[in-house]
C-alpha cells in the first residue's frame, strides 16, 4: 500500500518534469532509427538472397526483432541513469527525505516504490518501441512469442540497471553525480563481459558472468532461460539492497 | 510525554549533542533555545527517529526511539527547518500524499485535510503548486503536514526562520493555537520567540544542556530579583541637574529592598534609572512613595524583568549547568547528576 503511494507520487513527478518526456522522445527517435536501419537491411538482404536464388526465406524475428531488441538494451544503458538520478538525490537536496524517513514507512517501502515508478516509466518507454514492431504485422507475420520474451528480458535488464542507478542516487545529493555514477556502473557491467574473450580461466569467466549484455542474448533470441532471468533478478535484489544500505547511511551521517 | 536521558550524538571529529537530559510534560510548549550549531537540529532529528543517537535514550509518547521507531513516528509531527514540500505538487495533492504515508485511513482523509487547511489558513491556495507559493505559505503548508495526522508531539525546527515580521506573528499565533492538543517543542535561536510563544525553555549551547525551566522562573531565578525602570523629573525645572541626579540616586538606594541603582540616561532634566530589587522583594510601591514624598515627579515606573537575551548570555558564558539546573521545575533535567557529569 505504502509502496504504491510512493510509486504514484514518483510517477506523477516524472510526468510533471521534462524528464519523462525527454527520455521517451529521444528513445522513440533512436529506436525508430534503429528499426528503420534493421528493416531496410532486412529488405535489401532479402532481395539479394532472392536474386541469388536462395529458396529459404529469411526470418523477420531473427533479422529485425532481435537486432532491434538488443539495440534497445544499449539505449537503456544511457537512459536509465537519467531516470534514476533524481530518485533520492533530489529528496536529499531539498530535505523532503526527512519527511519520508520520519513518517511511519519502512525503508524498503520507499525504495521499492521509487524503483517501481522508475520501472514503469522504463516500461512505458519500451512500449513506445513496440509501435515499430507492430508495423511489421502490416506486411508479414512475425512470431509474437519471441517478441514478448525479448521485452521481458529488456524489462529485467532495465530493472537491474534502474536498481543500480537508485543506489547511485542514494549515495549523493547531486543529480549530475548520480547520473554519471549510474552510467559508469552500467557501462562497467556492460564491458566487463569482454574479458571472457581473452581466455577462459575461472576468474575471467566469473567476471564475465557479471555482464548484463550476455544475459540478454537468450531473451533477444526468444528463449526464456531461467539462468539469465535468475541473474537479472539477483542483480535487482543486489541493487535495491545497496540502495537500502545507502539510505541507512543517510541517517548515520546526516 | 517526552523523556530524554543522556542523549548523545558523536560524529567522527566532534560531539554534536553531549549527554542531554530533559522531560517535557503533556500539553506544554517548550522552546529549544541555543545559538546556531548548538545541536538543536541534531537533537530533534534523534527525537523524530531520523537518526539514531550514539548513546543515551529517549522516549516519545511512551515509546522508545530505538526499540519502537514506527510507533514514535506515528505519534510525532515534524517540521524540519526547510519545509519538506514537493514544489511540483499542488497543496491538496501534497497533503493527500502525506496523509497516506502517515497512515491516515483514506475514509476520513479528505475531511481531515480540509480541517487542517482551515487551521493553517491555506485553504485559499489548495489548488496552487507549492513551488509557486510565498515562503510564508510554504511554511504553513509544512506546518499543516506536521499536524495532519493529529500527532501527540509536534517538533518544529525554527518554524519562523526566513519569514517577514507579519508572517512570524501569524505563525506564532498558529503555534500557540495548537498547544493543549499537542505537546510542542520548537527550536529557535531568537530569544524573543521563546518569550512570545513558550512556557518552558530548554537552553543548550555547544551540545550541552545549559538550563531548563519555565521562562518566568528562569528570569527571576537568575537575578532572583525584579528589575524596575524608573523615570523621575524635578517638579520645578531649572534646578541643578547634577545635584538632582545624585539626590534621586541616593533616595532610591535608601528604599528598603533595593540592591542596586543604575543611572541609564538624562533627557530634558528627566532622569531614568534602572533599579534592581533584592531576592523576592516587591519594591515598586516603596519606590513610588519615596519619589513622591521627596516632592519629585514620577514620570514612569515599570517592571522590566530580565530579557532572555541577558539570561542567555550569562548562562552560555558561565557554562556551569549544575548551578542553574533547578530540580523543582517542571522541565527539569531527568537527573541533575547527568548534566553535571557531562562537563
Q: Which residues is B4 bridged to in the sheet?
A: B22, B58
Alpha-carbon gap, residue B302 to B260, rounded angstroms:
16
CB-nearest to B80 from A13, A98, A105 is: A98
Q: Are B76 and B48 in contact (CB under 8 A)?
A: yes
Mutation target among A88, A103, A111 for the B interface, most CBs of B within 10 A: A103
Write the CATH number for B289. Answer: 3.30.70.100
CA-based radius of gyration for chain B? 25
The answer on B260 and B152 residing in a single domain is no
Write the CATH number for B139. Answer: 3.40.50.300
The pLDDT tens digits for B112-146 are 999 999 988 899 999 999 999 988 889 889 999 99
The answer on B290 and B151 residing in a single domain is no
Distance of CA B275 to the CA centre of its chain: 26
CA-based radius of gyration for chain A? 20
Judged on CB neighbours under 10 Å (0-12, 13-18, 19+), A6 is buried
- Quote the domain boundaries for residue B318: 2-221+310-341
Gap between the terminal Cα atoms of chain B = 27
| Interaxial angle between packed helices A107-139 and A86-94, expressed in degrees from 0 to 180 and rounded to the nearest 10 | 140
Query: Which of B337, B317, B314, B313 is closest to B325 using CA atoms?
Result: B337
Cβ contact, residue pair A104, B86, below 8 Å:
no
How far off is chain A from B86, nearest CA to CA, in Å? 7
Alpha-carbon gap, residue B43 to B53, rounded angstroms:
9
Backbone angles phi, psi at B184, to 5 degrees: -120, 130
The answer on B33 and B88 residing in a single domain is yes
The answer on B244 and B96 residing in a single domain is no
Q: Are A65 and A147 in contact (CB under 8 A)?
A: yes
The answer on B316 and B265 residing in a single domain is no
The answer on B290 and B176 residing in a single domain is no
Residue of B nearest to A13 (CA): B88
Alpha-carbon gap, residue A82 to A25, rounded angstroms:
13
The answer on B159 and B81 residing in a single domain is yes
The answer on B7 and B106 residing in a single domain is yes
State the total domains in chain A: 1
The cell for B53 is 543517537
State the total domains in chain B: 2
The answer on B118 and B59 residing in a single domain is yes
pLDDT at B331: 42
SS3 B315: helix
Residue B211 per-residue DSSP state? E
How far off is chain B from A103, nearest CA to CA, in Å? 6
The answer on B298 and B214 residing in a single domain is no
Query: Which of A185, A65, A209, A53 is closest to A133 using CA atoms?
Result: A65
pLDDT at A107: 92
How far off is chain B from A83, nearest CA to CA, in Å? 17
Whether B76 and chain A come into contact, CB under 8 Å, resolves to yes
Which residues of chain B fall short of a pLDDT of 70?
A: 219-225, 237-239, 279-280, 305-343
In this prediction the pTM is 0.80
Tens of each residue's pLDDT in chain A, 254 residues: 889 999 999 999 999 988 899 999 999 999 999 999 988 988 888 888 888 877 666 777 777 888 888 889 889 999 999 999 999 999 999 999 999 999 999 999 999 999 999 999 999 999 998 888 888 888 878 888 888 999 999 999 999 999 999 999 999 999 999 999 999 999 999 888 888 777 778 888 888 888 888 888 888 888 888 989 999 999 999 999 999 999 988 877 65
The answer on B258 and B285 residing in a single domain is yes
Three state DSSP letters for chain A? CHHHHHHHHHHHHHHHCHHHHHHHHHHHHHHHHHHHHHHHHHHHHHHHHHHCCCCCCCCHHHHHHHHHHHHHHHHHHHHHHHHHCHHHHHHHHHCHHHHHHCCCCCHHHHHHHHHHHHHHHHHHHHHHHHHHHHHHHHHCCCCHHHHHHHHHHHHHHHHHHHHHHHHHHHCCCCHHHHHHHHHHHHHHHHHHHHHHHCCCCHHHHHHHHCCCCHHHHHHHCCCCCHHHHHHHHHHHHHHHHHHHHHHHHHHHHC
The answer on B336 and B240 residing in a single domain is no
- How does strand B208-214 pair with strand B200-205? antiparallel
pLDDT at B307: 58
- Quote the domain boundaries for residue A118: 2-253
Cβ contact, residue pair B52, A9, below 8 Å:
no
Query: CA angle B9-B323-B43, nearest 5°?
Result: 20
pLDDT averaged over every residue in chain A: 89
Question: Residues of B with CB below 8 A from A94's CB?
Answer: 82, 84, 86-87
pLDDT at B216: 76
The pLDDT tens digits for B170-225 are 888 888 888 777 899 999 887 778 877 888 889 888 888 888 888 777 766 655 56
Question: Residues of B with CB below 8 A from A98's CB?
Answer: 45, 48, 50, 78, 80, 84
Amino acid at each position: 500500500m505504502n509502496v504504491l503511494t510512493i510509486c504514484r507520487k514518483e510517477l506523477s513527478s516524472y510526468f510533471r518534469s521534462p524528464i519523462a518526456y525527454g527520455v521517451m522522445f529521444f528513445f522513440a527517435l533512436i529506436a525508430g532509427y534503429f528499426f528503420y536501419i534493421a528493416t531496410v537491411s532486412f529488405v535489401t538482404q532479402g532481395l539479394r538472397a532472392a536474386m541469388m536464388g536462395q529458396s529459404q526465406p529469411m526470418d523477420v524475428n531473427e533479422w529485425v526483432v532481435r537486432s532491434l531488441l538488443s539495440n534497445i538494451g544499449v539505449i537503456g544503458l544511457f537512459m536509465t541513469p537519467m531516470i534514476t538520478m533524481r530518485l533520492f538525490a533530489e529528496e536529499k537536496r531539498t530535505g523532503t527525505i526527512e519527511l519520508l524517513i520520519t513518517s511511519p514507512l519502512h525503508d524498503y517501502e520507499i525504495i521499492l516504490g521509487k524503483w517501481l515508478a522508475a520501472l514503469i516509466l522504463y516500461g512505458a518507454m519500451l512500449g513506445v518501441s513496440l509501435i515499430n514492431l507492430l508495423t511489421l504485422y502490416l506486411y508479414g507475420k512475425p512470431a509474437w512469442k519471441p517478441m514478448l520474451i525479448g521485452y521481458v528480458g529488456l524489462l529485467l535488464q532495465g530493472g537491474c540497471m534502474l536498481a543500480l542507478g537508485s543506489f547511485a542516487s542514494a549515495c549523493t545529493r547531486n543529480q549530475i553525480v548520480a547520473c554519471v555514477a549510474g552510467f559508469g556502473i552500467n557501462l562497467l557491467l556492460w564491458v566487463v563481459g569482454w574479458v571472457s574473450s581473452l581466455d577462459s580461466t575461472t576468474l575471467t569467466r566469473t567476471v564475465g558472468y557479471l555482464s548484463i549484455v550476455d544475459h540478454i542474448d537468450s531473451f533477444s533470441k526468444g528463449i526464456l532461460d531461467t539462468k539469465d532471468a535468475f541473474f537479472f533478478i539477483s542483480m535487482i535484489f543486489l541493487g535495491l539492497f545497496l540502495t537500502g544500505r545507502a539510505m541507512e547511511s543517510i541517517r548515520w551521517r546526516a | 510525554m517526552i523523556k530524554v536521558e543522556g542523549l548523545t550524538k558523536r560524529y567522527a571529529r566532534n560531539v554534536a549533542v553531549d549527554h542531554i537530559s530533559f522531560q517535557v510534560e503533556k500539553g506544554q510548549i517548550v522552546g529549544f533555545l541555543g545559538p546556531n550549531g548548538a545541536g538543536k537540529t541534531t537533537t530533534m532529528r534523534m527525537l523524530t527517529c531520523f537518526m539514531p543517537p550514539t548513546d543515551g535514550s529517549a522516549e516519545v509518547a511512551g515509546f522508545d526511539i530505538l526499540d519502537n521507531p514506527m510507533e514514535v513516528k506515528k505519534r510525532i509531527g515534524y517540521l524540519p527547518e526547510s519545509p519538506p514540500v514537493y514544489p511540483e505538487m499542488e497543496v491538496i495533492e501534497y497533503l493527500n500524499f502525506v496523509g497516506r504515508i502517515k497512515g491516515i485511513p483514506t475514509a476520513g482523509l479528505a475531511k481531515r485535510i480540509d480541517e487542517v487547511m482551515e487551521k493553517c489558513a491555506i485553504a485559499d491556495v489548495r489548488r496552487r503548486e507549492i513551488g509557486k507559493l510565498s515562503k510564508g505559505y510554504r511554511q504553513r503548508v509544512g506546518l499543516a503536514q506536521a499536524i495532519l495526522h493529529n500527532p501527540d508531539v509536534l517538533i518544529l525546527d525554527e518554524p519562523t526562520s526566513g519569514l517577514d515580521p507579519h508572517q512570524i506573528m501569524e505563525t506564532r499565533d498558529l503555534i500557540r493555537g495548537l498547544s493543549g492538543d499537542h505537546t510542542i517543542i520548537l527550536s529557535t535561536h531568537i530569544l524573543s520567540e521563546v518569550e512570545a510563544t513558550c512556557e518552558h525553555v530548554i537552553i543548550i549551547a555547544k551540545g550541552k544542556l545549559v538550563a531548563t525551566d519555565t521562562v518566568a522562573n528562569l528570569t527571576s531565578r537568575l537575578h532572583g530579583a525584579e528589575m524596575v525602570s524608573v523615570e523621575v523629573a524635578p517638579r520645578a525645572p531649572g534646578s541643578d541637574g547634577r545635584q538632582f541626579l545624585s539626590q534621586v540616586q541616593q533616595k532610591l538606594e535608601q528604599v528598603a529592598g533595593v540592591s542596586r541603582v543604575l543611572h541609564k540616561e538624562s533627557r530634558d532634566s528627566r532622569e531614568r534609572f534602572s533599579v534592581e530589587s533584592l531576592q523576592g522583594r516587591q519594591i515598586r510601591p516603596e519606590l513610588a512613595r519615596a519619589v513622591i514624598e521627596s516632592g519629585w515627579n514620577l514620570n514612569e515606573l515599570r517592571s522590566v524583568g530580565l530579557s532572555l537575551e541577558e539570561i542567555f548570555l550569562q548562562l552560555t558564558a558561565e557554562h556551569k549547568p549544575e548551578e542553574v539546573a533547578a530540580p523543582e521545575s517542571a522541565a527539569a533535567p531527568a537527573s541533575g547528576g547527568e548534566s553535571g557529569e557531562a562537563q
